[in-house]
Amino acid sequence: MGEEINEHTGSGPVNTNSNENNGETADGGAKYYTLEEVRMHNMSSDTWLIIHNKIYDITSFLEEHPGGEEVLLEQGGSDATESFEDVGHSTDAREMLQQYYIGELHMVRRQMVSYLLFSYALVILMGFYDSSWAMWLIPTVAAAVVGVLYRFFMFEHKSS
């Protein structure tokens, strides 16, 4: 998947090859935005929300929202997952989200934590490397850790 991270602080994606407003790059991969970048879009003329790690540009939806514009503006530029779920939105409301989808949240910090934990686990295991049982245990545990991390990242990017 063509992962694209926009590190700029402007209002649109940096990659000129990307298709605007459909959350996909020209090669079909999702657009990724950092939390810092999403935070910039917190005004009535430009409102983005994060819901379940997906980014939505809801500027054009503000006035249409049955629950009012105010509640959306309060959440502008931030993670509205909890508020959205607390209201108990209908299936229709969830389907409406799709038309405002522009990309995915890039989990820089969570990825770093995972990499650190993985490295830490390897260092601990290396301490046992002088015993014979460790010869098979280390690769086994390392494979299990990689498996868990892989599932974690897949869930993170696919959750909705």
Residue 75 binds ligand HEM (CB under 6 A): yes
Give the side-chain half-sphere CA count within 13 A for 57: 17
CB of 67 to ligand HEM, least distance (A): 2
Q: Is 38 in the site for ligand HEM (CB under 6 A)?
A: no
Residue 93, interface with ligand HEM (CB under 6 A)? yes
The DSSP symbol for 4 reads E
Residue span binding ligand HEM (CB under 6 A) among the ranges 1-9, 14-22, 80-88, 152-160:
80-88
Q: Does 139 bind ligand HEM (CB under 6 A)?
A: no
Answer yes or no: are the C-beta atoms of 97 and 104 closer than 8 Å.
no
If one asks whether residue 63 binds ligand HEM (CB under 6 A), the answer comes out as no
Tally of residues, the chain? 160
Give me the residues paired with residue 50 across strands.
55, 79
Residue 101 within binding range of ligand HEM, rule CB under 6 A: no
Q: Pick the closest to residue 53 from 95, 7, 21, 101 (CA basis).
A: 101
